[in-house]
């Protein structure tokens, strides 16, 4: 059974800092990996999707990397802003089936 772990569970940084969120998964037989943002009491916003054949994806200040063989992904946020404060979820889709396996998320607080 695929297990997805996110470290740290919570993170607080001052505005302007660069930061890295970590995601690890136990089964490397994945179809893709996706990073989401969730604001309190809200649904999910997809940030980046990395196919299993890819090593990284970039969107603006966000960069996600994938090392499938070691079961790891990182989400790098450059020049953090208070508006980046949210919970960031990592989810993997297995090779078989479409359902996503989610980590518990990292709660990020960026202070002005």
Partner 1 sequence: GAVVSQHPSRVICKSGTSVKIECRSLDFQATTMFWYRQFPKQSLMLMATSNEGSKATYEQGVEKDKFLINHASLTLSTLTVTSAHPEDSSFYICSASSEGDTQYFGPGTRLTVL
Binding site for partner 1 (CB under 8 A): 4, 36, 41-44, 46, 49, 89, 91, 97-105
Smallest distance, Å, CB 83 to partner 1? Answer: 19
Return the number of the residue (18 or 46) whose C-beta is nearest partner 1: 46
Positive or negative, the CA dihedral 104, 33, 71, 7 is negative
Measuring CA to CA, which residue among 67, 33, 66, 30 is closest to residue 47?
A: 33
Do 35 and 89 contact (CB within 8 A), yes or no? Answer: yes
Q: How far is the CB of 43 from partner 1 (least distance, A)?
A: 4
Identify the residue whose tokens are 């990073």. 35
| Closest separation in Å from C-beta 54 to partner 1 | 14
Q: 9 vs 78, which CB is nearer to partner 1?
A: 9
């Amino acid at each position: 059974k695929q297990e997805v772990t996110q470290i740290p569970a919570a993170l607080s940084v001052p505005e302007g800092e660069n930061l890295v969120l970590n995601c690890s998964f136990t089964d490397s037989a994945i179809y893709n990996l996706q990073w989401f943002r969730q604001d309190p009491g809200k649904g999910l916003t997809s940030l980046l999707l990395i196919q299993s054949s890819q090593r990284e994806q970039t969107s603006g200040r966000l960069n996600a990397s994938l090392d499938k063989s070691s079961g790891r992904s990182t989400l790098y946020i450059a020049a953090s802003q208070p508006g980046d404060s949210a919970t960031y979820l990592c989810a993997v889709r297995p090779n078989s089936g479409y359902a996503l396996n989610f980590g518990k998320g990292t709660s990020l607080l960026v202070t002005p």
